[in-house]
Amino acid sequence: MKNFSEATDTKWDLTATLTIKLEPVGENIPCRVIMNQEETLLDKTINEPTIITETIRLQQLVDIKIKIEREHPQAIVVSMDIDGYEILPLHQHLAEPPTNYIDFNIGWRITIDNFYQWLHEQEGHGWIA
């Protein structure tokens, strides 16, 4: 049986599954998805709904950038969850610009500094020190 200090200890190696779904509006949309400024998750032309799945640590930075090269009226609709908890479109106000409908060429970004702490706050459990 765990004592109190062991029960409240957060382990850094716990993981979660990040799922990003891209739904194109139009055809042949060049799309690049980059995580944490270094890992390219996708770099291809999208013609059909595409799902990206990635394993992340609970307390790591999640910084997703999406860049498309489109012609009017092409766009991509982004939905995202972490371990089944909806991030987009529910929390699209966190994105820059604040939308999950990408119909511009300037780039789009969403950043969550520490998912575990962020989720704790979103569910009304307070702030974790």
Looking at residue 73, its amino acid is: P
Residue 72, pLDDT score: 83
pLDDT of residue 27: 93
Tell me if 127 is assigned to some domain.
no
Widest Cα–Cα separation across the chain: 61
Cβ pair 119, 126 in contact under 8 A: no
Number of domains in the chain: 1
Measured CA to CA in angstroms, residue 120 lies from 13, 19, 116 at distances of 18, 19, 6
* Three-state DSSP state, 24: strand
Cis previous bond, 30, omega within 30? no
Q: Does the residue 21 lie in any domain?
A: yes
Residue 3 lies in a domain: no
CATH code, domain carrying 33: 2.60.60.40
Span 4-17, average pLDDT: 64
Report pLDDT for 58.
86
Domain that holds residue 93: 14-122
Q: Is residue 47 part of a domain?
A: yes
pLDDT digits (tens, 9 = 90+) for 107-119: 999 999 988 888 8
Checking if the pLDDT of 53 tops 80, the result is: yes
Count CA atoms within 13 Å of residue 12 on its CB side: 2
Residue 51 lies in a domain: yes
The model's pLDDT over 66-96, given as tens digits with 9 standing for 90+, comes to 999 988 889 999 999 999 999 999 999 999 9
In a domain? residue 56 = yes
pLDDT at 7 > cutoff 60: no
